[in-house]
Amino acid sequence: MSQARTKYSNTAKLLTVLPTIFVLVFVIAPVANIFGKTFRDVSLSLLRSGTIHEIIWFTTWQALVSTVIALALAAPVAFCVANFRFYGQRLVTSLTGIPFILPSIVVGVAFLGVLPSTLHRTAFALILAHAYFNFGFAARMIGNRWLQIHPYLDDAARTLGASPSRLFSTITLPILQRSILNTSLIVFTLCFTSYGVVRMLGGPSRSTIETEIFFRAMQLGDVSGAMLLSVVQILIIGSLFVVSTRFGSRDSRRASAPTISRQRRIDSTAKRFVVGLASLGAIGFTTAPLLAILIRSLRTSAGFTLEGWRSVATSTDLWRGLSTSFVYALGTLAIAVLLAIFASTATVFDERTAAFISVLTSLPIVVSSVSIGLGVLVTFDTPPIDWRGSQLMLPLAHAMIALPLAVRMITPVLQSIPAPLRQASSVLGANTWQTWRNIDLPIVRRSLVSAAAISAAVSLGEFGASSFLVRQNNETLPILISRLLSRPGDILQTQAFALSMILVVFSVALIFLIDTFDDFTPTNRAASDA
């Protein structure tokens, strides 16, 4: 028994080498370089500027408000999905998951299409888009946790005479509390470091830290200021994460779904009305912006036209952008899945490496994609390590950003393999590699597909790091879309919407792939819920 553990923990340590090297070189080194350069050379006077204070304040409060609204929108959906069984439930769940996986620039573009132009550069548009982005994810997380509350708890409370509100406040809410908190933290981080949405809907008067970093580095020419802001952002998000892990580690009990489902049939008109309203509202809210993209890609001020799509099909620039994005997505998924397999297997084999891997794969989230892009740009810029122009740079940066997600897709599945299976295999004489190939791999194969799909989705839509690292010949789709939208001209706008539609189609296809191949049961989701 102890011999097996030693054997696996050695393997685990070996397996962490490759992911560690990659994260070290492409995430930690650039960030350390930014920190180093900032504390050595850069004057901190920028921090005293009132405008920067305003930007930091704006970033914070818009993230807070977006989180609250996202949760408010998620609550009814979670309530319906967890407590009722109704026709179209799967559809609601799948559809509300779409916005989360959409590229952020597409969400920005979608709201440019939905909202009238008077609302385009307002905080309202930003907050609405952020809520749109995240409410499905929040609904899923909270809904799953709710599903794990045994229905008999509710029944017991009702038997003792609790009114529905009393039930909620004394039974449901305390159990859901941790999940709500964790979800809020993730949503807040995403809204805080949101880039694509703010670039499209914000404008110079509605700048967040992320877009300000881009503006300073790539337009104003003030790289030092950009690095300073990057440091501030990483410190803020980093401390949030530290605080959350302190709180989160208290309740790590993994609950499993009760054998009796709490999803009941709808038995009253009032409930039917509520559920119907919530589901239709959720579906409507999710699909309206996507429809807006489609419509705007077919219409100019002159009327209905296919010119946008036609020019996309015939323009060499746009085809090059498409193929570049496609190739980068392939590269990203190859690198990310490979590293994720190593990391996940190491997690499962040994507990201490599990903690290490968890920190390692959280780093790319703490360091936002914009900081990774800026870091790579200012770090790998002197020969012999002048990799700025290398074709591999973007897939590598994308892979680092996708790695956390890929690992979180594969690890739960690997963890669900009972240890006796592996022990049986080694009793029968298989070495570690044979065990892995014959036991782990077949079980984990399906989640590899989902990990690949999510890495591809991240790469296709990645905008933050790409804004810094894209060069003349290898523009990706999101960059092309933002360029098209920054120039006036009806046809250019329709082209941008057409390209966004292509991204939407790919993202939706990928999410359906993920939903099919990922074992979406509450037991497996519990691991990522904590």
Partner 1 sequence: MNRTKTRVGLLLTVGALIFGACNTGRSTERNDATGDSTDQDQTAGSTAPVTLKLLAYDSFTPSANIFDDFTAQTGIKVEVVLGGDAGELVTRAALTAGNPEADILWGVDNTLLSRALTARIFLPYETKNIANLDEQAQALVPNNEATPVDTGDVCINYDVNWFNQRNIAPPLTLRALTSSNYASLLVVPSPIASSPGLAFLLATIAEFGEDGWGEYWKSLKQNGALIVGDWTTAYYTEFSGSSGKGDRPIVVSYASSPPAEMIFASPRPATAPTAVAALTCFRQVEFAGILRGTKREREAQQLIDYLTDVKFQEDLPLTLFVYPANNKAKLPDDFVRYSLRPESPLQLDPDLIARNLLMWLDQFTNIVLR
Binding site for partner 1 (CB under 8 A): 49, 51, 54, 204-205, 207, 217-223, 320, 323-324, 326-327, 330-331, 377, 381-383, 386, 388-389, 391, 468, 471-474, 486-488
3-state secondary structure 168-192: HHHHHHHHHHHHHHHHHHHHHHHHH
Closest CA to 173 of 216, 142, 200: 142
Query: Are β-strands 299-300 and 303-304 bridged in parallel, bridged antiparallel, or unpaired?
Result: antiparallel
- Contact status, residue 107 vs residue 131, Cβ threshold 8 Å: no
Nearest to 265 by CA among 78, 87, 144, 79: 87
Q: Is 450 exposed, middle or buried (0-12, 13-18, 19+ CB in 10 A)?
A: buried
Between the CA of residue 5 and those of 344, 346, 357, what are the distances in Å? 17, 12, 18
Q: Shortest gap between Cβ of 204 and partner 1 (angstroms)?
A: 4
| 155 versus 381: smaller Cβ distance to partner 1 | 381
* Smallest distance, partner 1 to C-beta of residue 450, A: 14
178: CB partners within 8 A, 6+ apart = 248, 251
Cα–Cα distances in angstroms (integers) from residue 467 to residues 31, 210, 219, 255, 395, in the given order: 17, 12, 11, 42, 13
Least distance to partner 1 from the beta carbon of 376, Å? 11
Least distance from partner 1 to the Cβ atom of residue 338, Å: 14
Structure token digits, residue 129? 């888009």
- Shortest Cβ 57–partner 1 spacing (Å): 13
Cβ nearer to partner 1, comparing 221 with 420: 221
Q: How far is the CB of 478 from partner 1 (least distance, A)?
A: 16
Nearer to partner 1, 108 or 404 (CB): 108
Other beta carbons less than 10 A from residue 180's beta carbon: 18
CA–CA gap between residue 391 and residue 470 (Å, rounded)? 9
| Min separation Cβ 107 and partner 1, Å | 22
Distances (CA, A) of 360 to 17, 351, 377: 11, 14, 22
End-to-end CA distance of the chain: 29
When the beta carbons of 300 and 391 are compared against partner 1, the nearer one is 391
Residue number with CB closer to partner 1 (490 or 519): 490
Residue with smaller CB distance to partner 1, 244 or 391: 391
Q: Beta strand pairing status for 303-304 and 264-265?
A: unpaired
Give whichever of 212 and 350 is closer to partner 1, judged by the CB atom: 212
Whichever of 54 and 351 has its CB closer to partner 1, that residue is 54
Q: At its nearest, how many Å lie between partner 1 and the CB of residue 165?
A: 46
